[in-house]
Structure 1
Amino acid sequence: MRAWVSAFAFCGAALWATALAAQTSDLVSQSSFRVCADPANAPMSARDGTGFENRLAEFFAARLELPVQYEWYPMATGFIRNTLRANRCDVVIGYAQGHEMVLNTNHYFTSAYTLVTRSDGPIADVDSLSDSRLKGLSLGIVAGSPPATHLARNGLIGKARPYNLFVDRRHESPIPDMLNDLKEGKIDGALVWGPIAGPLVKQGFPDLKVTPLLKETHPPRLFFRITMGVRQGEKVWQRKLNSLIRRNQAEINAILSEAGVPLINDMGTDLLDPVQ
């Protein structure tokens, strides 16, 4: 009798696990690669398909032998709630590792905040915010971003010029505005997230230089590992995407490098050879 009960319990648990797996996978489309994306978040995502996240989406979809289908929504408050959690799409192409609003895949690249300068300027070779040559200069900073703490620590916040953090990119573009101000000499340098700075400079600012900040040892850290985000509980889908990342890492790196994204190692200490 005891053995029968144990066997029944085992079978029940197995059936429950199977049902749960099916439940957590049923929401994922089998007919298209459904991507949650901001339509005006260049150089990452754009409705016209020119962002590097668009290229990654096309690449992943091709490997899965599915067409890409977008659910467009501004990357602001409510983005995950109104896209991924509402089951209007199945994946966010770029999401910082460890964010509890989504289930993260394995990370597929690591990048860092950068110092953007004029290529022929006096601080073109500065690679640390503790460099004395930055004293008295005006640096552009996105308000509330991690480098702001480092500016304060090094006595640079007083002359810093803030740019808005949360904006609707359809109507306001603080990073291109910051780079234009740098080009015109209104500020002396700009502190920008590398996957934004690198592609924008490559596309339209040939006289500017992008230097990843890899020497900052005090918190907050300035490098982040980027994953794809899926719905909480979608373990089957997460594992499928993890396998996709693992088998195609060299091609992913090539897409990012071609776009101008500065790639660094997982510890945030050195630039990564794009062929790795």
Structure 2
Amino acid sequence: MTDWGQRRRLLVSLLAITAIFAGRDIAGAQTNDSTDLSIELIDPKVLRVCADPRNLPFSNDKGEGIENKLGELFAEKLQKKLDYAYYPQAAGFVRMTLAAHRCDVIMGYPQGDDLVQGTNPYYRTAYALVVKQGSGLDDVAALGDARLKGKHIGIVAGTPPATNMTANGLMAEAKSYPLMVDTRIDSSAEVMIKDLTAGKIDAAILWGPLAGFYAGKANPPLHVTPLVKETTGPRLVYRIGMGVRPADQNWKRMLNRLIQENQPAINRILLDFGVPLLDENDRPIGAETAKKSP
């Protein structure tokens, strides 16, 4: 079985389509016997999050990532103290954190892996093409676009877009970046964006949250277009939820209610980090439509 840390980078499993259902308020849920969390959680008074200590934009040990901010939001809503169990998102991440009962939730988890139980999704995004403003590639939304022929494109080896690039004859001129790196000292996404800014490659393909985060940090900012019009190779749009232990049914229901009731605030956090959010029709979700569910 491939470890979750690897699955997160690969994102090879299609995410299950799960409707976010309307729930009762959190206060009512906490007092209902059917949602007693005392058995399922390490400490019912503490929101204990499993996280990577150095994996921006998702999380770090300084509390600066997307999942750190989501943890703060949920801890406030639950009126709990927030604590972390940090471990690098590599082989053994789930085993050494969630499964070892060192923490109770993984804040970002692609559905479709039986290592954990997934909550309802709280956002939908895609792999994206990152280019310089005015490059003539600003509106390319599929790797079959003829304008990409002959271009030097950065790609993380082993990720789903590599299959699409191969199908469209783009790999001969591509520059490959490693999938598995030590996040304490390296970042393929950051290196790829530096190469794009320096003109060493013409475009970069990155997972949406990485694309938006690093493109926004570049000077000048780079243009991000989600690859939502793929016709060859796998679809590159995915849903992300949270992960809990398979037995933790009450805790999962609690998190589902939190997601449903706080979707606008969740969207604002994601947009602040540049995540290219998509609705169910692959249309961008901006600040003006951020109240909508993914």
> TM-score, with normalisation over the residues of structure 2?
0.83
Residues 225, 266 of structure 1: 8 Å contact kept = no
Cα separation, 2, equivalents of 1:237 and 1:91: 9
Instruction: Kindly indicate whether the alpha-carbon contact (under 8 Å) linking 1:141 and 1:163 is maintained by their aligned counterparts in 2.
Output: yes
Aligned residues of 2:35 and 2:254 also touching (Cα < 8 A): no
> Alpha-carbon deviations, 1:164-189, whole Å to 9, x = none?
11112002111000000000010110
Alpha-carbon distance in 2 for matches of 1:169, 1:41? 6
Q: Deviation string for 1:131-151 (max 9, x for gaps)? A: 111111110001000100110
User: Which residue in the other structure is 2:29 paired with?
Assistant: none
Which of 46, 69, 91 is residue 83 of structure 2 equivalent to? 69
Letter in 2 for 1:271: P
Alignment of 1:274 with 2:290, yes or no, is yes
Aligned length: 257
Identity of aligned residues (%): 46
Of 55, 59, 64, the match for 1:45: 59
For the residue of structure 2 that corresponds to 1:217, the secondary structure is: coil
* Structure 1 residue 59 displacement after superposition: 0.4
Alpha-carbon distance, 1:28 to partner: 3.7
Q: 1:164 to 1:59 in 2, by over 3 A?
A: same
- Contact 1:140 1:191 (C-alpha < 8 Å) held by counterparts: yes
SS state of the match for residue 171, structure 2?
coil
CA contact (8 A) 1:113 1:213 kept: yes
The 1:242–1:176 alpha-carbon spacing in structure 2 relative to 1, beyond 3 Å, is: same
> Amino acid of the residue matched to residue 123 of structure 1?
L
Of 99, 103, 113, 2:113 maps to: 99
The match for 1:60 is 74
Other-structure match for 2:267: 253
Give yes or no for the alignment of 1:176 onto 2:196.
no
Tell me the amino acid that sits aligned with residue 275 of structure 1.
Answer: K
Q: Deviations over 1:98-146 (max 9, x none)?
A: 2211100100000000000011223223222111111111100010001
1:187–1:260 distance in 2 versus 1, CA, 3 Å: same
**Hey, what's the Cα distance between the residues in 2 that align with 1:195 and 1:207?**
15
SS for the counterpart of 1:80 is helix
Task: Give me the TM-score of the superposition, normalised by structure 1.
Answer: 0.88
Larger Rg, first or second structure (1 or 2) = 1
Q: In 1, distance between residues paired with 2:91 and 2:106?
A: 15
CA distance in 2, matches of 1:47, 1:109: 23
SS at match of 1:120: coil
**Quick one: structure 1 residues 54 and 204, their matched pair in 2 at CA, closer, same or farther if it must change by over 3 Å?**
farther
Distance in 1 of aligned mates of 2:77 and 2:177: 39
* RMSD of aligned residue pairs (Cα, Å): 1.9
Counterpart among 75, 79, 94 of residue 80 in structure 1: 94
